[in-house]
Amino acid sequence: MEAPEPIYDIAHLGHVELLTDKPQESLDFFVKVFGLTESGRDGDSVYLRAYDDYEFHTLKLTAAGTTGMRHVGYRAASPQALWRRVAAIEAMGLGMGWSEGDLGHGAAYQFHDPDGHLFEIYYDTRRYEPPAEERPALKNQAQRWHGRGVATRRLDHLNLLAADVGAIRDFMPMALGSRVTEQIVLDTGKVAGCWFTVNNKSYDIAYTGDHTGSSGRFHHVTYVVDQREHVLQAADIFLENGVFIETGPHKHAIQQTFFLYVYEPAGNRVEIANAGARLILAPDWRTITWTEAERGKGQAWGLETVESFHSHGTPTAEYG
């Protein structure tokens, strides 16, 4: 009997909606320091994008009485592929139904992951059409590169917290057709962390354990820059702008990502990263499993993981 074929129904991570209880400070951070561009506003939300994101937005920043993530969107590879995923999710009994869409995309099918995070999948999207002052010098780029602040290229991935990461590991391949590229399995057999991808990126979403009894919490969202040196420059930009740097720049052993974590003013963790030329090209990639002992060695070059990286998520306990 042949193995099932890999699933390519979901094309990529599309956008993340973050909540902030300091909307102006958060917006200033994302535009002036992080270097995103505002592409629209609607109600309590501002739509933001990195310069080479091809869609209208990749970050929806919404004023709220709390922090954390309201929803994450993935774009399907085709209308047919979208229907296949909807059918699969409904067969799992987890479907919520269709939303009308948003400023940046058309109808989207919604569902929850086992930890209660809200997901949506959609195909119809709104491409970013740059106004004159945002037209790039090179036509194969979505928008002009301003070099303002960190000036990231595109949305890369997000990391969510879950009480039962093992349940997520079972869920994501069925729901989105994701592959598990790497994972941490403790000596007890418990899955402590899991990294998923739907395409050639080494991951577009990661889950790590939430030990607080809360559910649906957010760990971080990541945008990428082209070079490791740009991550180092980002650190200087954060330093000069008084942004709290939690840890980094350093290299993760897991996924080998060159990372830098900061908190935006409302407390949501944001990462600047670079993966170099690393891609998952093998269609039959074998999941890399890190043991408790291996993970205990710290980051790639020996940095000990800071305690807050294991404990801080949004919303924090005060909100929960």
**With binding defined as CB under 8 A, does residue 276 bind a second copy?**
yes
Q: Which is nearer to a second copy, 34 or 163 (CB)?
A: 34
**With binding defined as CB under 8 A, does residue 52 bind a second copy?**
yes
Strand 269-274 with 218-224, pairing: parallel
Least separation, in Å, of the C-beta of 303 and a second copy?
Answer: 8
My answer on whether omega of the bond before 79 falls inside 30° of 0, hence cis, is no
Residues 220/206, Cβ–Cβ less than 8 Å:
no
Q: Which is nearer to a second copy, 68 or 149 (CB)?
A: 149
What tokens were used for 227?
């070079």
Site for a second copy in 186-245 (CB under 8 A): 199-201, 224-230, 232-233, 235-240, 242, 244-245
Block residue for tokens 């990195």: 50
Least separation, in Å, of the C-beta of 226 and a second copy?
Answer: 3
Site for a second copy in 90-129 (CB under 8 A): none
Binding residues for a second copy, rule CB under 8 A, total 81
Stretch touching a second copy by CB under 8 A, among 19-27, 65-73, 157-165, 250-258: 250-258
Choosing from 29, 111, 258, 259, the residue that interacts with a second copy (CB under 8 A) is 258
**With binding defined as CB under 8 A, does residue 141 bind a second copy?**
yes
Instruction: Tally the C-alpha atoms within 13 A of residue 205's C-alpha that lie toward its C-beta.
Output: 29
Residues 250/299, Cβ–Cβ less than 8 Å:
yes
How far apart, in whole angstroms, are the C-alpha atoms of residue 257 and residue 253?
8
Strand 59-63 with 10-20, pairing: parallel
**With binding defined as CB under 8 A, does residue 275 bind a second copy?**
yes
